[in-house]
Amino acid sequence: MGLLDEKVAIVTGAGNGIGRATALSFAREGAKVVVNDVGSARDGTGESRAAADAVVSEIVANGGSAVASYDDVSTEGGANALVELALSHFGSLDVLVNNAGILRDKTLLKMEVETWRAVLDVHLTGTFLCLRAAARVMKDRGVRGSIVNTTSVSGLLGNFGQANYSAAKAGIYGLTRTASIELQRYGIRVNAVAPLAKTRMTEDLPMFEKIDESLSPEHVAPAHVFLASDLSRDVSGVVLAVAGQRMSVYKVVESAGKYKEKDLGPWTPAEIAEHFDTISKV
């Protein structure tokens, strides 16, 4: 018995890296998988069916069930078509993993609006569109489903040269939290994974130059399986971080703060400066 027996799962960006590892893991656990990938380069240019087809072939060769999708998740039509494919081919939808992404790094002062928009369109808008399409189906069919988004350390802590990517990933954190609140009434769980892994998206970044295979996509896939399965039936609104063999949970933390004691009026700028260390202490 697999953890995902008879469940139907969509994995976007599943042609390579973390998406591929997750799709293969889902299939091994008994899920029927929609393998979505437009087959573009890392910067989102070009397209090819080869990547998605290769993962589907590997799943089928190992006795699993899978179908390829080449839909563009950054468009409303693409997101809707992706969900419709799951329904028409497998008859239901239980799990969505929003993993598709591109990189177009550039420092803030040199970044063109087109570069900004391209990254937000795929990561943030794509996540929203697929989440909305999947949640509508789950709600209408009474499916207590699981949706797993992908955020990043860059979005939660910031990273030089990635204003567009960081903004998108920070937005996905907020989207995950809000969606988990709104969809809990329907029994739909919404969580996110913040992975740190060596893939084609990250392999030429300075921090990965001396890192071996200990930060592999295969270390991230079990987190997706956990969040997709009934093992996490009481978990929603959580960001699970994975970095090789280390797992943790990201949370927004507010400092204890300080009440103004002298009078009931507003703080003056000078008073804020005087007490800022206490105000900001966590």
**C-alpha atoms less than 13 angstroms from C-alpha of 278 in its C-beta half-sphere:** 8
Residue 139 has which token pair?
């709600």
Q: Is 165 a catalytic residue?
A: yes
Listed in order, strand segments (DSSP E) in the chain are 8-12, 32-36, 65-69, 95-97, 146-150, 189-196, 239-243, 246-250
Residue in the structure block whose two tokens are 């028409």: 88
CA distance 104 to 109: 14
Residue corresponding to tokens 């699970």: 240
Tell me how far apart the alpha carbons of residues 101 and 120 are, in angstroms, rounded to a whole number: 9
Residue 217 to residue 247: CA distance in whole angstroms: 14
Distances from the Cα of 211 to the Cαs of 172, 202, 207, 215, in angstroms?
27, 11, 8, 7
Residue 199's nearest CA partner among 99, 93, 75 is 99
Specify whether the CB–CB gap between 189 and 97 falls below 8 A: no
Q: Could you say which of 165, 173, 186, 259 is catalytic?
A: 165
Residue found under tokens 């949970």: 249
Nearest residue to 178 (alpha-carbon basis) of 221, 117, 132, 210: 132
Residues annotated as part of the active site:
165
